[in-house]
Amino acid sequence: MNYCMKKIIIMIGPPGSGKGTQAKKVAFKYNYSHISTGDLLRALARDTDLNSLEKEAVAQMKSGNLVSDQLIYRLVFGEIEKNLAEGRGVVLDGAIRNLEQARGFQNFFKAKNLTGEVLALEITLSDKDSWERLIKRRGLENRQDDDPKIIKDRIAKQGNKVLAPIINFYKDLGVLVKIDGNQTIEDVEKDIESILC
């Protein structure tokens, strides 16, 4: 199958796999918009004019819980439509966190005649390697979310066991390409470039 320049690229991978780094690189290189649900939710948290659903979502996020699928859909689908209307493709970074969301996104793509424009890139990394990378990053960058207890929780909530149904969903659709995340950042970038042409 030809994956050259699909309008919607979905980055999938466990914490520490480098999906965020690669999503930003793809967005920059191909003039796509980088859509991170984390960024959208942080922007929402800074907004002072929120409805009750949004206030509840901000409270959930601040307590470390996942926000409702409906809010994710509203935020991300709006960004996708806005960028496609401007002639820009999108790279979704961490947007799909469970199988129900994958189905919700696919229904949106069907409704918008975009199913032929979807590519899911899985950057593979074992949970053990994920743990080791995040612990190492903690020493280098001193990030608050790289505390050992938080890392363990993130891998439990976003690691390979949770990703498996999502990955199988995109594999069954025939739009999944796997990339070895144990390589250097540069080599992963080259592999992605070879897929995107």
pLDDT in tens, 105-125: 999 999 999 999 999 999 999
pLDDT in tens, 1-53: 666 789 999 999 999 999 999 999 999 999 999 998 878 877 777 777 777 76
- Domains of the chain by start residue, with CATH: 8-126+160-196 (3.40.50.300)
Say how far apart CA 31 and CA 85 lie, in whole Å: 14
Say how far apart CA 9 and CA 119 lie, in whole Å: 5
Look up residue 150 and give its two tokens.
């938080």
pTM: 0.87
In this predicted model, which residue has the larger pLDDT, 162 or 61?
A: 162
Say how far apart CA 105 and CA 125 lie, in whole Å: 24
In this predicted model, which residue has the larger pLDDT, 80 or 150?
A: 80
Beta bridge partners of 127: none
Among 35, 113, 144, smallest CA distance to 80 is for: 35
DSSP state of 147: -
Counted residue by residue, the chain has a size of 197
